[in-house]
Structure 1
Amino acid sequence: MEKTLKEKGSLEEKYNDYEKTPVPEHARKTWIEQGMVWLGEGFGLSGLAVGGVLANGLSFKDMCIVSVIGSFIVFLLATICAFVSTHTHLPTSFNCRRSFGTIGAKIIGIIFCICNFGWYAFQADLFGNTISFVVEQLSGSIIPPVIFTIIGGLAMSMTAVFGFKAIKILSEVGVPLLFILCITAVVKTGAIVPVGDIVSSGPIGSPISISSGITIVISSFAVGIAMMGDFSRFCKTRKDCAIGISLGYFWGYIPVMMCGAFFTYAFKNWNVVEVMVLTLGLGVFGALVLVIGQWTTNDNNLYGSVLGLMNTLDGVSSIPRMKLTLILGAISTAIAAFGVYKYFVNFLSILGVFITPIAGVLIADFYICNRKSYDEDWSTVHSGIKWDAIIAWIISSFVGLTMTTKPIGFGWFVDFGNIIPVPIICIVVAIVFYIAGQKVKRTV
């Protein structure tokens, strides 16, 4: 009995992710170690899909311009948000206690949890359908996708269970394999379709503007930008943080989007799984690497969901992170298996609009309004709700909904949202109203 307790304590300590306390000096990482985690998130199946979407509406030249500009904006916003946790070494939801108050931050934690939790279920279902398709194409056997959804959902939750260390190891394996796969696929594509024809290609589908394309790139990472602190808290310095983020969100994201667009221009098919497995004949290797690429992105969803929920449950429940991850992983897998997520995908997209402004409030509070408070003891944090932050958040979220298409948003000013990316508008509006609220509060 004593040995079992000792082993359990050793396991929890070994995979301690410091969910409620600052990451200690000895556990902080360099830009190389952190960069691999962010590469795993950016250099994945979702990036290839975004590239395909861009190719559908833009010429090759414009797609390249959009990829560079969009990725740079994502990198810039992500770095600004990440610096907050690099300073405090705490997760995003816990940093929100400074700007939103302890109770206000618990509300934010619930939103973080539900959004990431739901998208984890969505990705688990996509995982199941991908494997089912590949098995059918390669062997002729028809196996219900739900079987692979359950297997994949539970398997992907395991890296989140063991936390940052396991996510980092998976990224170190998955990123090089995906890089090799993409290079191989590009070479094989060039042998089938003249590269000159691909480079001179126009939009595959209905044309979109460059600004709309930039919006697509930024929106693909909008939620992740607001939650950068969940991983940047492990950075040793701001320099390590900035370089690490640039690897995943700029230097890594640009080529993976271009690869996705390259295949779409060449074969007029945005489904990268079909292109890799069937058109290019990369078979099991291609399918396996694409699945790992999806895995390195989706484990972050569950990890972020758990951190948000732990902030909400702090002081209410002392359930360990690893156990909570197993519970959430099992529940989200069940949601994916029964297809329940299909009924609230729009709801999850709405939550995404509500998450982006949180970044604006954090930026305003840390860089402009209350910078010194982040050096003070946590006992000084407002124990209730900071209504100026809540009001700024609600107003900016409402503005975002007016520029988002129906049924997710109101659809009133969609054209304006296509000119300036909605996530940027939400962040700016939140900054302006939070600063105004702080000034009003100090003069009353």
Structure 2
Amino acid sequence: MKTLKKIEKFLEKGEDFPREPVPASARKPWWSIGLVWIGVYICVPSIIEGLILIGGLPFREAILAEIVGFIIFLTLMFIQGSIGTKTGLSTYMMAKESFGLWGSHLVSIIVAICGFGWFAIQARAFGESTVALIGLGNAALLSLLGGLLMMITALLGYRAIEFLSRPSAVYTFVAMIYLAVKSSLKAPESFVEAVSKAPIGEPISFAAAISMIVGGMAMGAVISPDVMRFSRAVKDNFKALFIFVLPVAIIQPIAAMIIGSCVGSTELGLVMISAGGILGFLLVFLGAWTSNDNNLYSTSLALSEVIPKVKRWEVAVVLGIVASFLSALISLEDYGYIMYFFGSLTIPVIGIMVTDYYFLSRLGLKKRTALERKERVNPIAATALIIGGSLEASLDFGIIPNPYSIPPPLITIAVTCFIYIIGMKLKQMDACKICARSKKR
């Protein structure tokens, strides 16, 4: 019993203020925030992203598309995440201010489903990539074991996530540069000749490439307050994202472009084989781990808002075990489509929360009224979420055409902002009329 109590007490140190503002004493320097986000981004999907770009665009255009798309994503993250810095609250506690006491549960559940699902997908991707890398092994078993190991840092909270991100960021940065140089030297032709062959796959437009980059990472912008509530100041967020994360994290997809050009393939397996041995294994494993612990961390925070009597680490234990077993059973392609659908429902959250926090007061409207009035559900926010989510899903799955290839998240956020502003204006006008009538009586 004493041992169990000691373990419980140790885990409680990683609770990380799931339902209250992060105090000044627990805030972190800008480089700490940057390290966590670098850890989130350095993963197998970012390697795949680089390979897709070099498959569809000339080399210089592929690099430019990566930079532009990444800057758009970081800008969304900066705007949304800075609300967390100012309030000290997680995404889900902040949602109460716009969605209401019960309406915020909708946001929490959607994000929890996404985080849980992507944890399983990343664990599965680790298992399959490892089998492709070493040429033997059971993908299902490796996925299960990898998932169980990856959940440890999520249980221990921000400090453990940051601790793992430090060596992972350094290793990935150095390893990807080494592999890019190694591939260039081993290529049968010169570096210039190798990269001049791009695109080496099915061509895509520059706008479509940017859309893919922003859309693929938009979920990270939605949940950015979960990390940035630990930031000391908004200016620190700018330094963390644009001075630290941008130049470091972008190395992985660009290095993947170089490797893909030199081996003449966009197949992930060939790129992993070019890494070879322990070098490639660590690249895959650390990349999956530093992304997945953040998925589970945000998921546990989300459900802590819905189930206030349960501790965050207890939620993380249950979800981590279930997601790890699920990773052994799923098909990446089929399950991925399901997660893309749920992910589309999270994008409008940025539009609603950013509009409520930054724009309503500038338009002469009251902000954060749902929590002040103790509304159970703000119907305007719920309506904007449903319409915005439906629009995002329709754009993502090609139901609604997007001839100019504007990143769907940007379209969805703009439309959601407009709907929320109009709805809140009408709602507050009605409230003023009711108030005036009551005074006359």
Q: Report the Cα distance in structure 1 between the residues aligned to 2:166 and 2:86, rounded to whole angstroms.
A: 26
1:386 lines up with 2:378 in the alignment? yes
1:311 lines up with 2:305 in the alignment? yes
Q: Report the Cα distance in structure 2 between the residues aligned to 1:375 and 1:357, rounded to whole angstroms.
A: 17
Where does residue 179 of structure 1 map in the other structure? 173
Runs (4+) off by over 6 Å: 371-376
What is the CA distance between 1:412 and its match in structure 2? 2.7
Residues 153 and 301 (structure 1), Cα distance of their counterparts in 2 relative to 1, 3 Å cut: same
Moved more, 43-52 or 322-331: 43-52
Where does residue 218 of structure 2 map in the other structure? 222
| Paired residue type of 2:374 | H
Residues 187 and 221 (structure 1), Cα distance of their counterparts in 2 relative to 1, 3 Å cut: same
Aligned ranges 1:290-439 → 2 under 5 Å: 290-314=284-308, 318-339=309-330, 343-369=334-360, 380=372, 382-405=374-397, 411-416=399-404, 419-439=405-425
What is the CA distance between 1:187 and its match in structure 2? 1.4
Q: Report the Cα distance in structure 1 between the residues aligned to 2:231 and 2:211, rounded to whole angstroms.
A: 29
| 1:244 aligned to which of 221, 231, 240 | 240
1:279 lines up with 2:274 in the alignment? yes
> Does the 8 Å contact 1:392/1:434 carry over to 2?
yes
Q: Report the Cα distance in structure 2 between the residues aligned to 1:110 and 1:328, rounded to whole angstroms.
A: 13
Residues 64 and 344 (structure 1), Cα distance of their counterparts in 2 relative to 1, 3 Å cut: closer
CA deviation vs aligned residue, 1:73-118 (integer Å, no higher than 9, x gap)? 1111110001110011111011010011111100110000001101
Number of residues of Structure 1 aligned to a counterpart in Structure 2:
426
Moved more, 151-160 or 395-404: 395-404
| Paired residue type of 1:412 | I
1:133 lines up with 2:132 in the alignment? yes
Q: Report the Cα distance in structure 2 between the residues aligned to 1:344 and 1:191, rounded to whole angstroms.
A: 39
Moved more, 160-169 or 7-16: 7-16
Q: Report the Cα distance in structure 1 between the residues aligned to 2:262 and 2:373, rounded to whole angstroms.
A: 56
Residues 320 and 99 (structure 1), Cα distance of their counterparts in 2 relative to 1, 3 Å cut: same
| Paired residue type of 2:102 | I
| Paired residue type of 2:403 | D
| Paired residue type of 1:360 | G
Where does residue 429 of structure 2 map in the other structure? 443
> Does the 8 Å contact 2:90/2:225 carry over to 1?
yes
| Paired residue type of 1:440 | L
Residues 10 and 216 (structure 1), Cα distance of their counterparts in 2 relative to 1, 3 Å cut: same
SS in 1 for 2:250: helix
What is the CA distance between 1:370 and its match in structure 2? 5.2
1:257 lines up with 2:245 in the alignment? no
Q: Report the Cα distance in structure 2 between the residues aligned to 1:127 and 1:327, rounded to whole angstroms.
A: 21
> Does the 8 Å contact 2:98/2:371 carry over to 1?
no
Residues 55 and 438 (structure 1), Cα distance of their counterparts in 2 relative to 1, 3 Å cut: same
Unaligned runs of 5+ in 1: 137-141
1:164 lines up with 2:158 in the alignment? yes
What is the CA distance between 1:57 and its match in structure 2? 0.6
Residues 288 and 124 (structure 1), Cα distance of their counterparts in 2 relative to 1, 3 Å cut: same
Where does residue 139 of structure 1 map in the other structure? none
Q: Report the Cα distance in structure 2 between the residues aligned to 1:341 and 1:373, rounded to whole angstroms.
A: 45
SS in 1 for 2:112: helix
Q: Report the Cα distance in structure 1 between the residues aligned to 2:161 and 2:9, rounded to whole angstroms.
A: 19
Q: Report the Cα distance in structure 2 between the residues aligned to 1:382 and 1:224, rounded to whole angstroms.
A: 29
Q: Report the Cα distance in structure 2 between the residues aligned to 1:267 and 1:433, rounded to whole angstroms.
A: 49
| Paired residue type of 2:56 | G
Unaligned runs of 5+ in 2: 431-441
| 1:144 aligned to which of 130, 134, 138 | 138
> Does the 8 Å contact 1:91/1:229 carry over to 2?
yes
CA deviation vs aligned residue, 1:132-179 (integer Å, no higher than 9, x gap)? 23333xxxxx42211111110100111111111111111101111111
Where does residue 194 of structure 2 map in the other structure? 198
What is the CA distance between 1:14 and its match in structure 2? 2.5
Q: Report the Cα distance in structure 2 between the residues aligned to 1:198 and 1:261, rounded to whole angstroms.
A: 11
1:77 lines up with 2:76 in the alignment? yes
Where does residue 95 of structure 2 map in the other structure? 96
What is the CA distance between 1:4 and its match in structure 2? 5.1
Q: Report the Cα distance in structure 1 between the residues aligned to 2:52 and 2:107, rounded to whole angstroms.
A: 31
Where does residue 267 of structure 1 map in the other structure? 263
Residues 208 and 5 (structure 1), Cα distance of their counterparts in 2 relative to 1, 3 Å cut: closer
Residues 127 and 242 (structure 1), Cα distance of their counterparts in 2 relative to 1, 3 Å cut: same
TM-score (norm 2): 0.91
What is the CA distance between 1:341 and its match in structure 2? 6.8
